[in-house]
Amino acid sequence: MLKNTIKPGSKGFRTAMIRFVVYGAIIYLTAEFLKWNVTQEMGASKFSEDSIVESVQSLLLLTCALIYLRVSFKYKSIFPLAFGLFAFTFASLIREQDAFLDEHVFDGAWQTAAFGTLLLAAFLIYRKKDVFLSNMNDFASKFSFGILLSGIFTTYIFARLYGRKVFWMAVMEAQYTRDVKNVSEESLELFGYALILIASVEFYYFAKANNIMTIRGTDENSNLQHVYLKVGS
């Protein structure tokens, strides 16, 4: 009777544990930061447009955008997808600066800049749509894609619906205060941005692995062609 001599590798388990510890620490620090911040701001300034939370949200989006931009130029094989993700996060960053841009540049400045960035990305993606679709086909099954969707759903859908005034007025009734609604909504948004940051880090490693596979495939094809030429001669 044959015995199973194949031992499962531990590399995948180690990677999963590292992810659990590092990303768990990011989420924990996000929660601790929110707790610290809410004790520092008083009254109507809690999580307002000029609060530290808003600045941290912008910082997270800027970090994500820079990661995607770096990937788009470093790994040409995944440029359309990476640039599209850069445009999405950068447009979100611009949206976070809406009050500043409308006041100090011109009314509607953030819409012009954000939609201009998205249109540029759409044009570049269209020019390389076959590469983009191939990239998406590979990306859709990866850990980074799932985390990215979780961040997008949390920030751009659930947080918006959860922060509706009608909901909080029904919850607090006569004791309704806008500060509670703002703190809750902005906290969810920050959590979503933390997930998007994690997704961008994972995307960097996905792009790196994808680039290695592309190079290996090119080298193998080149070697095969060399063999065929030698046999043919």
216 pLDDT more than 70: no
Cα four-point dihedral sign 206, 212, 213, 214: positive
pTM: 0.84
Cα–Cα separations (whole angstroms), residue 83 to 89, 121, 142: 10, 7, 18
Q: Is 146 exposed, middle or buried (0-12, 13-18, 19+ CB in 10 A)?
A: middle
Helices marked H in 75-177: 79-96, 98-104, 109-127, 129-139, 143-152, 159-162, 165-172
pLDDT tens digits, 139-191: 999 999 999 999 999 999 999 999 888 888 888 888 888 888 888 888 999 99
Give the model's pLDDT for residue 13. Answer: 84
pLDDT tens digits, 73-114: 999 889 999 999 999 999 999 998 888 887 777 888 889 999
Domain boundaries, the chain: 48-209
228 pLDDT more than 90: no
Give the model's pLDDT for residue 163. Answer: 87
Rg value, the chain, Cα:
23
Tokens representing 155? 């920030």
